[in-house]
Amino acid sequence: MKAKLETVEDLRAERARLKNQLQLSRIQMRKNLTAIRTEINPVRQAAGALSDLLTTPKKGLLNVGVGIGVDIILKKGLLARAGWLPRLVVPFIVRNVAANLIQKNKASLLENALIWVKKKTQKPIKPQEEQKRLPVSTLPPVKVEKLTSVPNRVHQVDSKEGLISVS
């Protein structure tokens, strides 16, 4: 800042300089905030994964089904001979992770399931029968000896194969 503002023009110039400096400071703050967010992103992901392990989503029919399925598979199948602590902790964590994963990806999972059902229930498309070809015209073959636009060439039309030969 100048020590003394003497004219109106000096005041306007100082005001414009301060507005410019304010805009530059805002841009610098946004850059710093973006850099901080990118540095904190792994911490956010770890916190999100930890919260998926420990929090149980809303009760619903889908989550109850996931819970029952996890209990049957883990407690009575995979962890049948394990100690009491793994039989208590592991199904709890797996149930929460599975329920949270389904809750977050509900739309895409439902869409994929409907596509799969549609593919399984849809009748296979049979190849179309070959269309009967129209008979070749019964006109006699046409011979053109010489054309005015293409000198020294003879065009011949074969009605059996529908070919034009140039010689």
- 23/92: higher pLDDT: 23
Provide the whole-model pTM: 0.42
- Residue 107 tokens read as 């739309």
41-45, 67-71, 93-97, 115-119: segment of lowest average pLDDT: 41-45
Residue entry with tokens 């792994």: 42
pLDDT at 131: 47
Three-state secondary-structure class, residue 21? helix
Reply yes or no on whether the pLDDT at 119 is more than 70.
Answer: yes
At residue 139, the pLDDT reads 60
Greater pLDDT, 131 or 140: 140
Q: Helix or strand or coil: residue 10?
A: helix
Structure-model confidence comparison of residues 132 and 10, the more confident one: 10
Facing residues of 155 across strands?
144, 166
56 falls in which pLDDT band (50, 70, 90)? confident
Ramachandran area for residue 133 (φ above 0: left; ψ -120 to 50: alpha; else beta): beta
Q: What is the mean pLDDT of residues 99-117?
A: 83
- What value does the mean pLDDT take over residues 153-163? 53
pLDDT at residue 22, rounded to an integer: 94
What's the distance, Cα to Cα, between the start and end of the chain in Å? 92
Residue range 118-133: mean pLDDT, rounded: 64
| pLDDT at residue number 24 | 93
Q: What is the pLDDT of residue 80?
A: 83
- Whether 49 shows a pLDDT value over 80: the answer reads no
